[in-house]
């Protein structure tokens, strides 16, 4: 049985990687991928923390919900990306800068 901290380290590593991917990648699809990474890191945390309460599967259940929501989110995100691409003829998030103040 691995200690819980290891999972937490892995989750933090994954979350950070996802965050970095979200921030630095030049493609919206990759940003979406980064978000997936961060979601999976949080799933990992949910499951890992469930270890502290044996006999309960609330963490796994929550992770399952997160996966479902992530799917939905990916679908909506991809749709948005496609719309943005259609409209701006680009999928680089930096070039969509109409909110520039």
Min dist. Cβ of residue 99 to another protein (A): 4
Which CB atom, from 22 or from 74, has the smaller least distance to another protein?
22
User: How far is residue 37's CA from residue 26's CA, in Å, rounded to a whole number?
Assistant: 16
Min dist. Cβ of residue 56 to another protein (A): 28
Query: Burial level of 39, CB count in 10 A (0-12/13-18/19+)?
Result: buried
DSSP reduced 3-state for 92: coil
Contacts with another protein, residue ranges (CB under 8 A) = 19, 22-25, 31, 93-94, 96-101
Min dist. Cβ of residue 71 to another protein (A): 22
């Amino acid at each position: 049985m691995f200690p819980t901290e290891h999972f937490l380290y892995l989750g933090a590593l994954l979350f950070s990687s996802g965050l970095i991917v979200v921030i630095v990648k030049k493609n919206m699809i990759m940003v979406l991928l980064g978000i997936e990474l961060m979601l999976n890191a949080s799933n990992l945390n949910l499951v890992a923390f469930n270890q502290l309460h044996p006999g309960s599967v609330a963490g796994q259940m929550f992770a399952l919900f997160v996966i479902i929501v992530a799917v939905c989110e990916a679908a909506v995100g991809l749709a948005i990306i496609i719309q943005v691409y259609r409209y701006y003829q680009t999928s680089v998030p930096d070039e969509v800068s109409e909110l520039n103040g």
